[in-house]
Amino acid sequence: MQQASQSEIERCHEEAEAHMRTMLMHGLCAIMRRTGLPPMAVLRLAARSVGSAYREMADAHCGLEPCACGWCPQQTADLEVLIMALMSAGRPHLHDLAAMQAAGSA
């Protein structure tokens, strides 16, 4: 079996994230339109749904007949990773001034 290159893996991650974000945004907007709930209430429900999905996936990888993929859930570490992902994605992006291209001169 051929091993994927780092750039292929990054591309797959980017495509998966873009697809998931699009699906999530469509779902969140549809729920707000249908229910009239405010954005933070809907986002809180989405976060709870991610936690619930994690629990289901973790349960499927434990017990008498775990999934054969080899993932061994580590609840504390896994939830920290999810929390950090939410925090980093939810904060405004800080731009590195040293890496920015000059737009002109003063």
pLDDT tens-digit map of 51-81: 999 999 999 999 888 888 999 999 999 999 9
pLDDT at 65 (0 to 100): 87
**Residue 54 · residue 78 · CB < 8 Å:** yes
Give me the DSSP letters along the chain. Answer: -PPPPHHHHHHHHHHHHHHHHHHHHHHHHHHHHHH---HHHHHHHHHHHHHHHHHHHHHHTSSSS--TT-----HHHHHHHHHHHHHHHHSPPPP-GGGSPP----
Structure tokens at 64: 């008498």
Task: Calculate the average pLDDT of the chain.
Answer: 90
Q: pLDDT tens across 35-57, in order?
A: 999 999 999 999 999 999 999 99
Structure tokens at 59: 């349960």
**Residue 42 · residue 32 · CB < 8 Å:** yes
pTM: 0.76
Percentage helix, strand, coil for the chain under 3-state DSSP, each rounded to 5: 65, 0, 35
